Amino acid sequence: MTEAPPYPQKRTCPYEPPAGYREIGERGPVLKVTLFDGREAWMVTGYRESREILTHPNLSSQRTHPGFPIVAPRFRSQIARTLALIAMDPPVHDVYRRYLNPHFSLKSVRRMRPEIERIVAGFVDRIVEHGPPADLVPLLAVPLPSLVICRHLGVPYEDHDFFQDASGKVMLGTEEESATAAQDLFDYIDRLVAEQIKDPSDGLLGTLVRERVVTGDIGHDELVSIALVLLIAAHETTSSSLALGVITLLEHPEQLALLREDPDRLPGAVEELLRYIATTDLVATRVAKGDIEIAGHLIREGEGVLVSGTLANRDAAVHQRADELDVLREDSHHLTFGFGIHQCLGQNLARMELEVAFKELFTRIPGIRLAAPVGELPILGAGTVQRVLQLPVAW
Amino acid sequence: MTAVWVSADQERCISGGRCMAATSEVFDQDEDGLVVVLTPQVAPELEDRVRKAAYLCPSRAIRIGDGPSEG
């Protein structure tokens, strides 16, 4: 009982927490867990406590710190430890974030809506042409975020196959695969940035060259590091949330019917799905750079700290009927995008892609249903992005 | 009834846009993506949504008080 339980654990249902998380939640809101390498780290499972610690000045993202908790073998790589923004603390983090905020604000993302609608309509056209059964992973969930971020950044779309494959391996491959793919991606972006500096295009990379490289704020290496993070972060998270969202709605037909009745309910439904699915099982991996007192515990300088989105999103202290999917709920607030200064830069882009995709898919293919039992869908991921490898549907 | 006033700190803002999504009558974003308060004195019917906006703000940039903010 007093032993620190293992974390993360694998899900058996794509959208439900693993059975072992119940005990972890009951022992929360703050407890110690055991990582894959046998080390221990603090785990925060309460919603309020997560908000509190994620805004605590002693919480650090410095992945090169010897006490930084490693939650899966692939995060041992040098590239994973030095990611721009993600592995940075203020003041450098805040400077970089300000370079990017104008290009991911809610207002700028809303201007991208017509283009995202055109892209989604094109993918759904191909699904309809393909006919049932159709696998929505390669036909929609994977290529949509890839195409959207390629267009936004100004990355040539003909390179997106390489790109999709490499970023997938960085996030979800074995330790060797992840390191090799990260290096390939790095080399590719390195060349791309060099080209952009010579001849900036209209995309975000070209804009950053004009706004920040020409002015001397950042150089080639910094832009490579920013581009790498934007590409990696945009892919798996949105792709997985899209696939898991479709599965969850198809498995809750009464909830889907509420959306069909009134499509204005979609933005609220997207929030609820983000809460319920908790695609990013762990929403924060940090190290204490000074002592932190929280919920009667003392976290000492140098100790690792994790925040469980899966558990915080279903905290009965702040959510009514926390384990129930309810697309009409008012209390759909969640930590799937994190909280504090590191909260997801691309959150509004992700929301829009999900909203537009759900709307188009369920409107154009009204008879859509899963073509395999949900328990048989191959799933991957523990501790980072929860993913299904196939999503066969029929109609 | 006491009026509620809202202010926002651009230095803290990280452009999450949760405030604008919750209450576009009160919050906007400027060209840098940073929060702008359109109407510092909050209409009573918007108070609940402004409080929600403040709660959702990841960088705690929104302050609610019973008078106009000092500078």
CATH of domain B4-65: 3.30.70.20
Q: Is pLDDT larger for residue A247 or for residue A157? A: A247
Closest residue by Cα to residue A97 from A147, A144, A61, A44: A61
Contact, A303 vs A39, CB < 8 A?
Answer: no
Cβ-nearest to A106 among B20, B31, B56: B20
Instruction: Give CA–CA dist A367/A359, Å, rounded.
Output: 14
**Which of A48-57, A67-76, A273-282, A321-330 is predicted least confidently?**
A67-76
Does residue B14 have a pLDDT over 70? Answer: yes
pLDDT at B70: 62
**Which of A25-29, A233-237, A367-371 is predicted least confidently?**
A233-237
Taking CA atoms, what residue in B is nearest to A106? B17
Q: What is the pLDDT of residues A174-194, one digit of tens each?
A: 778 888 888 898 899 999 999
Which strand ranges, in their side-by-side order, compose the sheet holding A282-288?
Answer: A30-34, A40-44, A304-308, A282-288, A59-60
The token pair that represents A341 in the structure block:
């200064």
With an 8 Å Cβ cutoff, the interface of chain B facing chain A consists of 14-17, 20-21, 28-29, 31-34, 55-56, 58-60
Does residue A331 have a pLDDT over 80? Answer: yes
Contact, A306 vs A69, CB < 8 A?
Answer: yes
Cα A81 to chain centroid distance, Å, stands at: 18
pLDDT at A114: 98
The token pair that represents A318 in the structure block:
């702040």
pLDDT classification of A2: cutoffs 50, 70, 90: low
Q: Which domain holds residue A283?
A: 21-394
Neighbours of A20 (CB within 10 A): 13
C-alpha distance from A253 to closest chain B C-alpha (Å): 27
Does residue A160 have a pLDDT over 80? Answer: no
Does residue B71 have a pLDDT over 60? Answer: no
Instruction: Give CA–CA dist A379/A277, Å, rounded.
Output: 13
Taking CA atoms, what residue in B is nearest to A99? B32
- Strands A392-394 and A134-135 turn out to be antiparallel
* Domain-located, residue A172: yes
* Domain-located, residue A14: no
Burial class for B2, CB neighbours closer than 10 Å (0-12, 13-18, 19+): exposed
Contact partners, residue A226, CB within 8 Å, separation at least 6: A84, A85, A96, A99, A100, A208, A218
Number of domains in chain A: 1
Instruction: Give CA–CA dist A104/A350, Å, rounded.
Output: 10
Instruction: Give CA–CA dist A65/A59, Å, rounded.
Output: 12
> What CATH number is given to the structural domain containing A42?
1.10.630.10
pLDDT classification of A359: cutoffs 50, 70, 90: very high
Percent above pLDDT 90 for chain A: 82
Q: Is pLDDT larger for residue A252 or for residue A182? A: A252
The token pair that represents A143 in the structure block:
């290529």
The token pair that represents A67 in the structure block:
């006490």
Does residue A173 have a pLDDT over 80? Answer: no
Contact partners, residue B47, CB within 8 Å, separation at least 6: B4
* Domain-located, residue A2: no
Q: What is the pLDDT of residues A32-82, one digit of tens each?
A: 999 999 999 999 999 999 999 999 999 999 999 999 999 888 777 777 778
> What mean pLDDT comes out for the span A223-238?
89
pLDDT classification of B29: cutoffs 50, 70, 90: very high
Does residue A382 have a pLDDT over 70? Answer: no
Burial class for A334, CB neighbours closer than 10 Å (0-12, 13-18, 19+): buried
Percent above pLDDT 70 for chain A: 98
Closest residue by Cα to residue A391 from A382, A381, A380, A374: A374
Does residue A351 have a pLDDT over 90? Answer: yes
Query: What's this model's pTM, rounded to 2 decimal places?
Result: 0.95
Contact, A186 vs A224, CB < 8 A?
Answer: yes
Contact at CB, A105 and B33, closer than 8 angstroms: yes
Q: For residue A137, what are the CA distances in angstroms to A14, A140, A392?
A: 14, 6, 8
Instruction: Give CA–CA dist A149/A280, Å, rounded.
Output: 19
> What mean pLDDT comes out for the span A374-386?
83
Contact at CB, B20 and A107, closer than 8 angstroms: yes
* Domain ranges within chain B, ordered by starting residue: 4-65
Instruction: Give CA–CA dist A85/B14, Å, rounded.
Output: 12
Contact at CB, A333 and B21, closer than 8 angstroms: no
C-alpha distance from A267 to closest chain B C-alpha (Å): 10
Instruction: Give CA–CA dist A254/A25, Å, rounded.
Output: 28
Q: What is the pLDDT of residues A99-112, one digit of tens each?
A: 999 999 999 999 99
Q: For residue B55, what are the CA distances in angstroms to A95, A266, A347?
A: 25, 22, 17
Closest residue by Cα to residue B14 from A198, A337, A242: A337
pLDDT classification of A21: cutoffs 50, 70, 90: very high
> What mean pLDDT comes out for the span A341-361?
98
C-alpha distance from A340 to closest chain B C-alpha (Å): 5
C-alpha distance from B55 to closest chain A C-alpha (Å): 10
Does residue B1 have a pLDDT over 90? Answer: no
Q: Residue A332: what residue type? A: S
pLDDT at A275: 98
Instruction: Give CA–CA dist A23/A5, Å, rounded.
Output: 9
Contact, A150 vs A160, CB < 8 A?
Answer: yes
